[in-house]
Amino acid sequence: MTIYSLYIYDRHCDCVYYQDWHRTSPIRPPPFTNFRPGVHRIPSPPSITTKESIFNTKRLSALEDVERVGNRELKGLPFDEESKLVYGVILSLRNMVKKLSGRDEAFTSYRTAQYKLHLYETLTGYRFVLLSDPNVDSLRFVLKQIYTGPFLDYVVRNPLVIMDSREEGIDNDLFRSAVDRHMRNLSMFS
Amino acid sequence: MTIHAVWVINKAGGLVFSRTYSDTLPTQTLNATLILAGTLHGIHAITSRLNPITGKGGLESFEGENWGGKIWMSLTGIKLVVLHSIAHQGLDELMKKIYEIYSDAVMKNPFQTLEMPINSSLFESRLLGLIQSVN
């Protein structure tokens, strides 16, 4: 019984927040071209700290070395691709459930042998996605609690957070620690 | 428990068998069902990549508010999909029984071509008997 990760998407289908707890599969930070500030706190790859002289002929090869080592050490999907895959899966399953029901029926969760994904949609188009252990009951109430609690207090009522910005996420220290506290107080978190 | 529909998807993602057993869900055209089965096949592959811990395995079940679906993949790669009402018990045994009927009535049929649509009255009648005992 445990909680793995939390994704929040806005109505533009962009991931605006990410946090993980007991996740063991590796994840890579996104490439710099796709980096959006204020979404996640995945440590960035080791960069070249000492600036070498431009007259050093070995400079280029050293750079390549660092890149190769960096690529070998960092496994897993880059964050931007992973968040898009998660969104794609919930979108297609949502459409499928809707199509098969013939009416506006909400898709709530899916399960694999390793994890269970819970989805909670707000009326404003925010989608809260939680990955947990497969044996737990529905955790949509937790997502609703996060929405009505920390999300409203530290994101919606926070004048420093730009909602709907499309440039950056909603991450801030208060929100992150409040979500963390909320999750750690759950009985299924261990 | 009510079983709404049973699908069989071959290992390439094509729908080879589909029957509905209740009128809770609206009837779909065959083309729509084919597309949905293909989508499910793709989702199955993606979900195994999103694994937060080590291990393998794709989509096993999904739920809406009033009904859900269960997917069971055999070692040979065919997927059995059952759409059912939310209160469900003994679904795993039911899947096993469906697979048993499938292997008896379809795989042992010398006129059945692998990966092709299933047109077997024996399979259909035995499946209908099983589902009627559950519904």
Task: Identify whether A80 is part of a domain.
Answer: yes
Whether A89 contacts chain B with CB within 8 A: yes
How much is the pLDDT for A73? 56
Residue in chain A closest to B66 (alpha carbons) equals A105
Q: Which of B3, B51, B86 to probe by mutation at the A interface, max A CB count within 10 Å?
A: B51
Mean pLDDT, chain B, whole residue set: 91
Residue numbers of the domain that contains A39: 3-44+55-184
pLDDT digits (tens, 9 = 90+) for B55-83: 888 899 999 988 999 999 999 999 999 99
Residues A109/A138, Cβ–Cβ less than 8 Å: yes
User: Which domain CATH number covers B116?
Assistant: 3.30.450.70
Residue A113 to residue B47, Cβ atoms within 8 A: no
All residues of chain A having their beta carbon less than 8 Å from the beta carbon of residue B26 are: 101-102
Find the CB nearest B43 among A25, A89, A101.
A89
Find the CB nearest A105 among B55, B66, B83.
B66
Closest Cα of chain A to B82: distance in Å?
13
CA distances from B118 to B85, B103, B111 (A): 25, 12, 10
Q: Which of A83, A96, A112, A117 to probe by mutation at the B interface, max B CB count within 10 Å?
A: A112
Task: Identify whether A16 is part of a domain.
Answer: yes
Task: Identify whether A85 is part of a domain.
Answer: yes
Task: Identify whether A49 is part of a domain.
Answer: no
Task: Identify whether A189 is part of a domain.
Answer: no
Whether A1 contacts chain B with CB within 8 A: no
Closest Cα of chain B to A75: distance in Å?
13
pLDDT digits (tens, 9 = 90+) for A148-163: 999 999 999 999 988 8
Work out how many domains chain B is built from and give that number: 1
Between CA B63 and CA B57 the distance in angstroms is 18
If pLDDT is split at 50, 70 and 90, which confidence band does A188 have? Answer: confident
Which residues in chain B (70-109) have CB-CB distances under 8 A to chain A? 83
Between CA B74 and CA B56 the distance in angstroms is 14
Q: Which residues, 6+ apart, have CB-to-CB distance to A28 below 8 Å? A: A42, A45, A74, A75, A76, A77, A78, A79
Residue A89 to residue B50, Cβ atoms within 8 A: yes
Whether B40 contacts chain A with CB within 8 A: yes
pLDDT digits (tens, 9 = 90+) for A61-101: 555 555 554 555 567 888 889 999 999 999 999 999 999 99
If pLDDT is split at 50, 70 and 90, which confidence band does A187 have? Answer: confident
- Give the sign of the dihedral formed by CA A163, CA A169, CA A172, CA A178: positive
Residue A106 to residue B62, Cβ atoms within 8 A: no
Q: Which residues, 6+ apart, have CB-to-CB distance to B45 below 8 Å? A: B58
Residue numbers of the domain that contains B24: 3-134
Q: Which residues, 6+ apart, have CB-to-CB distance to B18 below 8 Å? A: B5, B6, B7, B8, B30, B33, B37
Q: Torsion angle, CA of A117/A123/A125/A129, rounded to 10 degrees? A: -10
Residue type, A109: S
Work out how many domains chain A is built from and give that number: 1
User: Which domain CATH number covers A146?
Assistant: 3.30.450.70
pLDDT digits (tens, 9 = 90+) for A22-36: 888 888 888 888 888
Query: What is the C-alpha end-to-end distance of chain B, expressed in Å?
Result: 6
Residues A112/B61, Cβ–Cβ less than 8 Å: no
